[in-house]
Amino acid sequence: MPGIFAFAESRDGELRKVAQEVVTAARKLADAAGTEVHAVALGGSGLQAAAAELGKYGADKVFVGESGAFDRYSPEGFTTVIVNFIREHGCDAALFPASALGKDLAPRVAARLGVEYLSDATALDAEGATITVTRPRYAGKVFSRAAVTSKPAVISVRPNSFQAAENAKAGSVETLNVDLGSADFGAVVKEIKAAAGEKLDVSEAPIVISGGRGLQDPANFKLLEELAEAFGGRAAVGASRAVVDAGWRPHGDQVGQTGKTVAPTLYIAVGISGAIQHLAGMRTSRYIVAINKDPEAPIFKVADYGIVGDLFQILPRMTEEVKKLMS
Amino acid sequence: MRVKSIVCVKRVPDTEARIRIAGDGSSIDPSGVKFVLNPYDEFAVEAALKHKEAAGQGEVTVMSVGDAASAETLRTALAMGADSAVLLKADRTPEGLAAAKALAAGIQGREYDLVLFGMKAIDDDLQAVGPMVAELLGIPVASAVTEFSIADGKVTAHREIEGGAEVVELRMPCAITLTKGAYEPRYASLKGIMAAKKKPLEEKPAQVDAPAAPAALSYPPERQAGRIVGEGPDAVPELLRLLRQEAKVI
Ligand SMILES: Cc1cc2nc3c(=O)[nH]c(=O)nc-3n(C[C@H](O)[C@H](O)[C@H](O)COP(=O)(O)OP(=O)(O)OC[C@H]3O[C@@H](n4cnc5c(N)ncnc54)[C@H](O)[C@@H]3O)c2cc1C
């Protein structure tokens, strides 16, 4: 029986947290189908040790492909290696993270295999080898649930939707041949521009604290950064479109329909009204907290907890209290 | 450089639209829904126009695969300033691989240097068609691009990734999918709207694969409006207590 393929994303020789989530999701499908999880990690050198860790999350076999050409992501190179792997080993489903890399790579892989691709799954169910994918559409206004008809099913899973769970397997590590000959790629990553201090991305952080026009001035985002820091490196600062359009924050921080979709365990919306396009990006957060001076603000309709009042008074107090809690 | 761009666009429900599931349980009820040019595709149209204007030469063709009403969406892009339009006409607007195959077939045989897409369509939320078309055409792609430049037969694109940006160099012809960034879409002027009526809009039948088995649509569980914990900074300790003891998230 062919296995379940799990793409284990790495950057700079280190596996990303989504790799554990993808393997955890794959394990569930493999258990239902009575098959194995084959995790594949591709990168420059130094991935072997990190990749072995994936056994802990349920990978039966981890295949590591190292090549100088893979120091950075290569759409064509990665697609070729993965498609060759799937053709050789077979698979019922191929899982990718719905990350920047996964969302670029997975559709390309699907097109080369000539199969459908379902992105940003928030739930996967399996009965034997039949896989059902639940994914949001219309910016989360509707969910669709469909059994995959063409095999292998190529699916990306939304970060933070599948909590990494330990489910130890032997997890043998094998070397994958990634010799692409004299491959001449049409797209080459020249440079990676990291945002200041390699900051945690809103799409991956377990806690997101977003600010809106209520912050009044870009300098006031310091208040959010201080709160994020109080949470000890687990929180990222996001923004509404209004403040991104005003040039206060980079687009990479924008949450919403034309920004990023986030699903943290805790989303704190500060001085954000809660327009439908903003909700589109954050409504699948596990818990939502709203801080707004207007008790009628639509954000309170989706928030689990709210405080009505002036953010300039509430935020410093919150930072102080969180610091106390965390110490 | 004289660049020939093809911009692929889709007609989608407006972002504000209330989405209701139709009686069949697998499609949405279009009545009363306002349809617009997909917002991400607006960034792509704008990018193509900006680069053409900067070069002082070039050609921008917009293309859509979809039902007859998609012609209206193409007119919107023509009114923004695109030179010509192609409607690959089907009895429904396909998604995913079927859409990509139809577009790739529509593009093949045309002269182009650049194929532009919105990063995703806001109705199916797939974020797949751009990379799929690139794969089917055998050309390189960079997705989720905020800004790019063109020189010496190459495109240098800034692609949004977690915690920063990737600078990708692509050999032309290539494909780019755009997210929000440097290209703030222009409004169509009255003059543009008048001019659009006279611009060529070619219609030809699309090659569309039969749809996959229908998906069951449902509404997400309604988020219960929660609790106002209190007013002002004095509510903070109680909020943190709830987050810690009730929600168990901190
Ligand atoms: C096609 C399209 C796509 C869009 N995509 C997005 C998107 O991706 N993301 C997004 O966010 N928006 C998006 N929007 C914009 C969206 O419609 C709203 O305009 C935007 O979200 C509003 O941002 P805001 O809540 O920060 O500002 P506002 O609506 O101005 O709200 C500010 C809030 O701050 C509160 N406030 C003010 N002062 C204080 C204070 N001292 N203390 C406490 N509270 C205070 C106010 O009561 C108010 O509720 C999109 C719009 C369109 C048309």
Evaluate the omega torsion of the peptide bond into residue B220 and state whether it is cis, within 30 degrees of 0: no
Confidence of residue B159 (pLDDT cuts 50, 70, 90): very high
SS in 3 state form for chain B? CCCEEEEECCEEECCCCCCCECCCCCCECCCCCCEEECHHHHHHHHHHHHHHHHHCCCEEEEEEEECCCHHHHHHHHHHHCCCEEEEEECCCCCCHHHHHHHHHHHHCCCCCCEEEEECCCCCCCCCCHHHHHHHHHCCCEEEEEEEEEEECCEEEEEEEECCEEEEEEEECCEEEEECCCCCCCCCCCHHHHHHHHHCCEEEEECCCCCCCCCCEEECCCCCCCCEEEEECHHHHHHHHHHHHHHCCCC
Enter the tokens of residue B42: 């607006």
Strand, coil or helix: what is A124?
strand
Torsion angles phi and psi, residue A283, rounded to 5:
-70, -15
Q: How far is the CA of A182 from the centre of ligand 1 (A)?
A: 51
**What's the pLDDT score for residue A168?**
85
Q: What is the mean predicted confidence (pLDDT) over B60-88?
A: 98
Complex prediction ipTM: 0.95
Lowest-pLDDT range, A297-301, B46-50, B64-68, B218-222?
A: B218-222
- By the CB < 8 Å criterion, does B247 face chain A? yes
pLDDT in tens, A223-275: 999 999 999 989 999 999 999 999 999 999 999 999 999 999 999 999 999 99
Within 10 Å of residue A146's Cβ, how many Cβ atoms? 19
Query: pLDDT by residue (tens digit) across A187-218?
Result: 999 999 987 666 799 999 999 999 999 999 99
- Report the half-sphere exposure of B239 (CA within 13 A, side-chain side): 31
User: CA-based angle B178:B182:B184, to the nearest 5?
Assistant: 90
pLDDT band at B243 (very low <50, low <70, confident <90, very high): very high
Residue A1 scores a pLDDT above 80: no
Model confidence pLDDT, tens digit, residues B124-139: 999 999 999 999 999 9
Half-sphere exposure of residue A64, counting CA atoms within 13 Å on the CB side?
A: 23
- Cβ–ligand 1 distance for A210 under 6 Å, the answer no
Q: What is the mean pLDDT of residues B4-15?
A: 98
* Contact state of B19 with A302 under an 8 Å Cβ cutoff: no
User: Is the CB of A249 within 6 Å of ligand 1?
Assistant: no
Put simply, whether B93 touches A (Cβ < 8 Å) is no
If you ran DSSP here, which 8-state letter would residue A177 be given? Answer: P
Q: What is the DSSP secondary structure assignment for residue A159, as one 8-state letter?
A: T
Q: A with B: how many residue pairs have Cβ under 8 Å apart? A: 270
| From A114-123, A192-201, B67-76, the region with the lowest mean pLDDT | A192-201
Band (B213; pLDDT cuts 50, 70, 90): confident
Which chain B residues are Cβ-neighbours of A257 within 8 angstroms? 15, 39, 122
Check pLDDT > 70 for residue B153. yes
**CB contact, 8 Å: B97 with chain A?**
yes
Which residues does residue A136 pair with via DSSP β-bridges, in sequence order?
A: A143
Mutate to test the pocket of ligand 1, among A220, A253, A278 (most ligand atoms within 8 A of CB): A278
* Locus of tokens 């805790």: A266
Paired residues of A269 in beta bridges: A210, A290
Decide: A295 and A280 in contact? Cβ < 8 Å.
Answer: no
